[in-house]
Amino acid sequence: MNQTTTPPSQFDSRRFTYALLCVLLGSGAVTLSIQSILSNLNIATLYVSATLWQDLVRNWSGTIEPTTQSALIPFFPLMGYLLIISITTWGIGSFLISKVCGSSLSMAFTNWGWKGFRWWLLPAAWELLRITAFVMGWTSLESLLLATSQFWFSLTIAGWMATFASLIFPVSYFELTPESLEAKRTQTIKIPFGAWLMIGLFVSLFTFMNWRLYEGLLIPHGDSAMYEEHLWNITHGKGFRSYLDQGLFWGEHIQFIHLLLLPLYQLWPSHLLLELCESLALAIGAIPLYRMAVRHSHSTMIGKAMVAAYLCYFPLQFLDIAIDLKTFRPISLGVPALLFALDAIEQKRWKSAILLLALTLTAKEDYAIILGPLGLWIAYQQWQESKQDNTTTKPGLFKVLTPGISLSLFAVIYLSFVVKILIPWFRSGEQVHYVGYFSKFGSSLGEVVQNILFNPSLLFGELVRPDTFIYGLALIVPLGFLPLFSPSRLLVAAPLFGLLCLNELAHDPRHHFHAPIVPILCWAAAIGLGNIPLFIERCSLKTKVTAAQTFATHFTWCSAIATGLFFSLGPTGLVFWDSGSNWYWKKLYLPGERAKQFTKVIPLIPRESRVASTDFVHPRFTHHARSYDYSDYRRKVNDYRSGVPADTDYIIIDTQHPYSQIKSPDQIPEYKNAPNQWELIPDQTDGHFIILKRKSETN
């Protein structure tokens, strides 16, 4: 059975047929999957708004059943649209590959069609599994498949994009000369213009978005603008506090990294400064990540890919603008500090690492949960290196393990001291407030810790569930699964990930709780990408090392972009452009009538007055003599009683904010119950705001 090998330049009709089949069958597979997803409104809204869903169904000749909120979309019109897209991208992509790589057009069509469009068959596997689960009555599996459908589509898009990028930029583009490799090892790695450009784009974009949210009165005071109030109150002798707090902020968290902004704040006392600094801090985390990736992989292209993946990593972006539009949080400033610390640890610059880890702890006590296992990792790495050291002067085991073990012990002692003694001391003996986040494990800190450590059945039941699996996917899929290729580093994140899954407030990386885990995952991904050749060698795979690493490099940033398409609130996300979405750019980033009318309110409130206001206008009054929260929450500043503090001069009600329950003056308890104490200021804002002024005692 002698076979002749087809020369690379010769047209291979069989492979071209496979390529054509991939294009046709891939289009059909995606069509079937889209039909399934859009057939139910609850599943469709994972991707698009209800309004856009209705428009898509109608435009694709479908019908909607109003009673069940289900839809029926014919196969062939939708298949026709997808065929137009697939054939067009096949043709354009093949033309570009042919021109850039100098190959024949037929070869480009064959390679791009076969290697790229077979990724379009992945939704067919998802659909087959879903149908099987439905037929067999495995409702839990079917629900899990539906809930994770975004990740299946993300992998499809990422694999397709990465294949094209790999064909356009061949492996030879990544090779470095021996001299340049040695320079990377011995000299400080310079950040290339391309990386700086990506960092600059991130800072510009997210600063602009944050500032526009502020101008549009969409940033809440609680857990966001309150941190700017900390700086204002410190510079004006009121202490490290917001008037939301039960006292000094130390009773909430041991978190004071934002106080380092005080010198800049003296020059520009504005919340906008904090937003700029947060976006900048998150972005510069790409610098140590680039250096670690280049140092471990010996490739500047891999370093750039990691920068792109990091900046497009949607869990990172949610640290800048959370799903509830809470923006500035000091915990985010710990991300770059920890990344720089990890870079120092990789280079064994221990003094720098200690200073950077200390800085990281000032971002929040949560980072101690990372430092504990990080110390164990350091001890393990030092032990492994000592075993490979054949010199006669190598240090003893105790000296090798001491630094890492000491860090772990310090982290445990520090965290215990903070949550058991320090924070309660500032709360007049009350336990830390976030014990309530783990109510299934007990009502006190001791009960929660005891049940987590010594009640395995309860712990197992809470951890082993679909939410944990989905949470894990949300963290590693955007990084192209690369953290799995550096398992020892990935394990550093395991304890905190477990606690995040037990947290009853949030089970996804769209708030701020996951901030300490982001640097660890990106660190593991950067090193994991450099471990690809070693993995192939150990597993005795027949895959070419250079080709595999090329694809993995592109798959990294493509995964970040593809998952961002379904999860990001920024311009790479569908919701940013979906006019029916709550996160549509015109709704969030173009200040509306409410913000315009508020400009009439500010001149009416003297700076020396004490103001109680609703959440979204509260940030505008933090520079007044006092700024109290007007809500149903009972605050320490009013002795935990309803109403406003007795020294309140003005009450400002925002009748149009997202959670407003008061629409008219007669709904305000203070005005309704004590009209002789409050004067209603004539409305100049077309009903957008209600202003009450306390009457003077002489009147």
Q: At residue 240, does pLDDT exceed 70?
A: yes
Position 539 confidence tier, pLDDT thresholds 50, 70, 90? confident
Structural domain ending residue among the three candidates 524, 548, 576:
576
8 Å CB contact between 608 and 627: no
Structural domain ending residue among the three candidates 549, 576, 603:
576
The reported pLDDT for the residue numbered 3 is 39
Q: Helix, strand or coil for residue 678?
A: strand
The reported pLDDT for the residue numbered 64 is 94
Contacts within 8 Å (CB) and 24+ apart, 17-24:
18/113, 18/114, 19/109, 19/110, 19/111, 19/112, 19/113, 19/114, 19/117, 20/113, 22/113, 22/114, 22/116, 22/117, 22/118, 22/120, 22/121, 23/86, 23/87, 23/90, 23/113, 23/117, 23/120, 24/83
Mean pLDDT, residues 398-408: 90
What are the tens digits of pLDDT across the range 257-300? 999 999 999 999 999 999 999 999 999 999 999 999 999 988 89
For strands 610-613 and 626-629, give the pairing. parallel
Asked if residue 229 belongs to a domain, the reply is no
545 and 656 assigned to the same domain = no
> Which of 7-16, 236-245, 433-442, 474-483 ranks highest by mean pLDDT?
474-483
Residue 421 CB burial class (10 angstroms; 0-12, 13-18, ≥19): exposed
Q: At residue 689, does pLDDT exceed 90?
A: yes
The reported pLDDT for the residue numbered 183 is 52
Residue 40 DSSP code: B
Structural domains counted in the chain:
3
What are the tens digits of pLDDT across the range 369-387? 999 999 999 999 999 888 8
546 and 603 assigned to the same domain = no
Mean pLDDT, residues 389-412: 83
Give the count of alpha carbons within 13 A of 436, CB side only. Answer: 5
153 and 212 assigned to the same domain = no
282 and 398 assigned to the same domain = yes
Q: At residue 7, does pLDDT exceed 50?
A: no
150 and 214 assigned to the same domain = no
What are the tens digits of pLDDT across the range 60-105? 999 999 888 899 999 999 999 999 999 999 999 999 999 998 889 9
The reported pLDDT for the residue numbered 113 is 96
Q: At residue 629, does pLDDT exceed 80?
A: yes
Residues 286-295 as b/e (b if ≥16 CB within 10 A, e otherwise) read bbbbbbbbbb
* Whole-number average pLDDT of the chain: 92
Structural domain ending residue among the three candidates 168, 203, 238:
168
The reported pLDDT for the residue numbered 621 is 95
158 and 43 assigned to the same domain = yes
Asked if residue 537 belongs to a domain, the reply is yes
161 and 75 assigned to the same domain = yes
555 and 654 assigned to the same domain = no
305 and 391 assigned to the same domain = yes
656 and 541 assigned to the same domain = no
Q: What percent of the chain has pLDDT over 70?
A: 95
User: SS in 3 state form for 171-230?
Assistant: HHHHCCCHHHHHHHHHCCCCCCHHHHHHHHHHHHHHHHHHHHHHHCCCCCHHHHHHHHHH
The reported pLDDT for the residue numbered 4 is 39
Asked if residue 257 belongs to a domain, the reply is yes
Helix (H) and strand (E) counts in the chain: 34, 7
Q: Helix, strand or coil for residue 628?
A: strand
User: 694 has which bridge partners?
Assistant: 678
Cα–Cα separations (whole angstroms), residue 448 to 118, 255, 423, 484, 499 = 49, 23, 17, 30, 11
Cα separation, 558 vs 326, in Å, equals 27
Q: At residue 10, does pLDDT exceed 70?
A: no
Sheet strands (E) in 483-622: 610-613
Asked if residue 587 belongs to a domain, the reply is no
Position 635 confidence tier, pLDDT thresholds 50, 70, 90? confident
Q: Which helix (H) or strand (E) holds 679?
A: strand 678-680
Asked if residue 432 belongs to a domain, the reply is yes
Q: What percent of the chain has pLDDT over 90?
A: 80
Q: What is the dihedral of CA 515, 629, 503, 48, to 10 degrees?
A: -70
Residues 258-284 as b/e (b if ≥16 CB within 10 A, e otherwise) read beebeeebeeebbbebbbbbbbbbbbb
Asked if residue 388 belongs to a domain, the reply is yes
For strands 678-680 and 610-613, give the pairing. unpaired
What are the tens digits of pLDDT across the range 470-507? 999 999 999 999 999 999 999 999 999 999 999 998 88
The reported pLDDT for the residue numbered 6 is 41
Position 5 confidence tier, pLDDT thresholds 50, 70, 90? very low
Position 657 confidence tier, pLDDT thresholds 50, 70, 90? confident
Two tokens, residue 387: 């075993």
Mean pLDDT, residues 404-416: 96
Cβ neighbors of 169 (< 8 A, separation 6 or more) are 301, 550, 554
What are the tens digits of pLDDT across the range 153-204? 999 999 999 999 999 986 544 445 444 555 555 567 999 999 999 999 999 9
User: CB atoms < 10 A from the CB of 668, how many?
Assistant: 17
Position 222 confidence tier, pLDDT thresholds 50, 70, 90? confident
* Token pair 């379009």 in the structure block, residue: 120
363 and 466 assigned to the same domain = yes
Mean pLDDT, residues 101-119: 93
Q: Which domain holds residue 65?
A: 13-168
Look up the pTM and report it.
Answer: 0.94
Angle among Cα 277, 282, 285 to the nearest 5 degrees reads 125
Angle among Cα 205, 315, 42 to the nearest 5 degrees reads 105
642 and 617 assigned to the same domain = yes
